[in-house]
Amino acid sequence: MPPNITDPPIERDPEIVFNATEKSNQPPLPSSAAKDGYKLNIFQLSLNQLAHILIGMTVGVMLLFALRNGLPLGATPQHVILCVLGYHLLMAQAILSLSPHNGWSSRMKLVHRRRVHWILQVLGSGLALAGCFIKILDKDVHWDTLHGRFALVSMVFTSVSMVNGLASLYANELRGLRLPPSLSKLTHICFGIVGFAAASITLCYGLDKAQFRNWATDNFTTAIIIFVATFTTIIIVNPFITFFNKGRGLFRNN
């Protein structure tokens, strides 16, 4: 090589993402796409954390309401405690456990997240259904209010989702029966979304009753209803996106 001639500078690959490592000492420069992905990831993590906070506040308030008269508990306090713990604590966490942005489960392998999901789902469904049946046995007239009607919808879809979850869990094993794995997963996601959304609507109608409003005041009741609507929306967004993507892929394959 002639003297005083230097190698031309090597241009950096624009496709390198912000968290990639290079062999050179100079740190990689983030691309605009990587920046946007980072911001979206932070936004989703923040929403997930907000959902956990709102769930904790709502469940805590409902437990205080149910225990306000002390022990022993009547049928209505038992119904409130079991349904809130079943639907809005365990089942909510079961859905969130599959999200890649969920704090306590994000480091788990997918197989372990699925295992945690069905364990929480079974426990939550069992508590929620037990709470519903306690109230059914306590009343003579059933499903004559919007609270009761949405509760019935939630019970039906929760039961079907729990049974359908077994087909989704063993989707690969059922291929020999000519059952598309995507179909069982799609129906499981759909039933789960409807069941959880109906449970949240049921809770909102329960909060709107005079018994709770007199205890919590109107403004506080409105705040709790907003909390329920907010964390329910956050929780069902990821399953809804998964349902849409899997459904689109299933139709394309056919």
pLDDT in tens, 93-103: 999 999 888 98
Instruction: Give the 3-state DSSP-derived string for the chain, with helices as H, strands as E and coil as C.
Output: CCCCCCCCCCCCCCCCCCCCCCCCCCCCCCCHHHHHHHHHHHHHHHHHHHHHHHHHHHHHHHHHHHCCCCCCCCHHHHHHHHHHHHHHHHHHHHHHCCCCCCCCCCCCCHHHHHHHHHHHHHHHHHHHHHHHHHHHHHCCCCCCCHHHHHHHHHHHHHHHHHHHHHHHHCCCHHHHHCCCHHHHHHHHHHHHHHHHHHHHHHHHHHHCCHHHHHHHCHHHHHHHHHHHHHHHHHHHHHHHHHHHHHHHHHHHHC
Give yes or no for residue 24 having a pLDDT over 80. no
What tokens appear for 8 in the block? 């031309």
Residues 83 and 206: their CA atoms lie apart, in Å, by 11
Can you say how many angstroms the Cα of residue 107 is from the centroid of all Cα atoms in its chain?
17
Q: Residue holding tokens 């008269």?
A: 69
Give yes or no for residue 111 having a pLDDT over 70. yes
Q: Return the pLDDT at 106.
A: 84
Q: Return the pLDDT at 176.
A: 52
Residues 114 and 124: their CA atoms lie apart, in Å, by 15
pLDDT in tens, 136-176: 999 988 899 999 999 999 999 999 988 887 766 665 555 55
Domains and CATH numbers, the chain: 75-253 (1.20.120.1770)
pLDDT in tens, 196-247: 999 999 999 999 999 999 999 999 999 999 999 999 999 999 899 888 888 8
Q: Is 122 exposed, middle or buried (0-12, 13-18, 19+ CB in 10 A)?
A: middle
Mean pLDDT of the region 12-16: 43
- 33 versus 8: which is more confidently predicted? 33
Q: How confident is the model at residue 180 (pLDDT cuts 50, 70, 90)?
A: low
Give yes or no for residue 189 having a pLDDT over 60. yes
Q: Of 218, 240, 222, 241, which is closest to residue 230 (Cα–Cα)?
A: 222
The sign of the CA dihedral 146, 147, 148, 151 is: positive
Give yes or no for residue 60 having a pLDDT over 80. yes
Q: Return the pLDDT at 173.
A: 56
Q: Return the pLDDT at 91.
A: 96
Q: How confident is the model at residue 20 (pLDDT cuts 50, 70, 90)?
A: very low
Give yes or no for residue 90 having a pLDDT over 60. yes
- 5 versus 241: which is more confidently predicted? 241
Give yes or no for residue 124 having a pLDDT over 80. yes
